[in-house]
Structure 1
C-alpha cells in the first residue's frame, strides 16, 4: 500500500481543525493595522506554526503513532479473539434459551388464553 504524501487526510477526519492565518486572525472593515504589520504577522504566524508543528512531530510523532498502532492492534486482537467469539457463543446459547422460554410460555399461557377466549365467546350480541 502506497502512502499519499499530498493528501494526508483523504477521509477528511480533521476538517474541524482550521489553522490557517485567515481562520485565526482577521481585521474587520474600518480597523486595519499597517500593511507591513499585517504581512509580517502573516509570515510570523506561518513560520512559527510550521516550526513548532514540525518539531513536535519530529520528537513525538513516531512514538505517538507507535502507541496508537499498539492500541488499535489490541482492539483488533480483542475483537478477533474475544468479542466476536463471545458474541457468537451468546447468540447460540441465547437462541436455545429463547426457544425454551417460548415453549414454557406457550405451555403455561396458551391454555389460559384459550379458556378466556372460549368464555368470552359465549357472550354474543343478540
Structure 2
C-alpha cells in the first residue's frame, strides 16, 4: 500500500520517506555527491585490487558441458549472497576492533614521529653537519695528498713476467 509507506511523511504525500528509498549502485554513482567518507568508491587508490573477484572469476562451465540454467542462476545467487553476508558479518566483527586498534596505533606512531623522531633528527643534524664537514676536510687535506703521493711512487714500477728459464716472455696483448 502506498498509504502505509507514506504514513511517516504526511507533510508531502507525493515523496517517499528517506528510509524507504533504496538506491541501486548505479543510482548512487549518478548521485555521487560525497562529503567526508566516499560511500560509492571505497577504494579510490586501488590498494585492494588483488582481492577483487566476481562470480565469473571463480566459477565457469565449459562450453561442452552446461548445468541447467536455473541451477547456474541459483549457484550465482547463493555464492553472491553468501560472500556478501559473510564479508559484512566479518567486517562488523573484525572491522570495528581493527579500526580501534589501528586508530590507536597510527595515533601513537604519529605522536612519536611528531614529538620525538623529527625533533631528534633535527637535533642530530647539527652535529652530523659538523662531522660531515670535518670528515670532508680530513679526506681532502690529508688522505687525498697521501694517496696521490703513493700512487705516483708506485706508478713508476714496471712488472715483468718471466718464463720457466728466467727469460722475459712476450708482453701480453689483449
Q: TM-score range by the shorter chain?
A: 0.7 to 0.9
Change in 2 beyond 3 A, CA 1:29/1:116: same
Please tell me whether residue 43 in structure 1 is matched to residue 73 in structure 2: no
How large is the Cα RMSD of the aligned pairs? 2.5
Taking the aligned partners of 2:133 and 2:53, their CA distance within structure 1 comes to 59
Please tell me whether residue 15 in structure 1 is matched to residue 81 in structure 2: no
By percentage of residues, which structure has more helix? 1
Match of 1:67 among 101, 108, 119: 101
Unaligned ranges ≥5, structure 2: 1-34, 154-174
Unaligned ranges ≥5, structure 1: 120-126
What is the Cα deviation at residue 53 of structure 1? 1.2
Query: Structure 1 residues 54-63 or 104-113, which shifts more?
Result: 104-113
Residue 67 of structure 1 aligns to a residue whose secondary structure is: helix
Normalised TM-score (structure 2): 0.59
Superposition pairs for residues 1-126 of structure 1, below 5 Å? 2-109=36-143, 112=146
1:27-80 alpha-carbon deviations (Å, 9 max, x no partner): 232222221111100000011111111111222221111111112112212221
How many aligned residue pairs are there? 120
Please tell me whether Structure 1 or Structure 2 has the larger radius of gyration of its CA atoms: 2
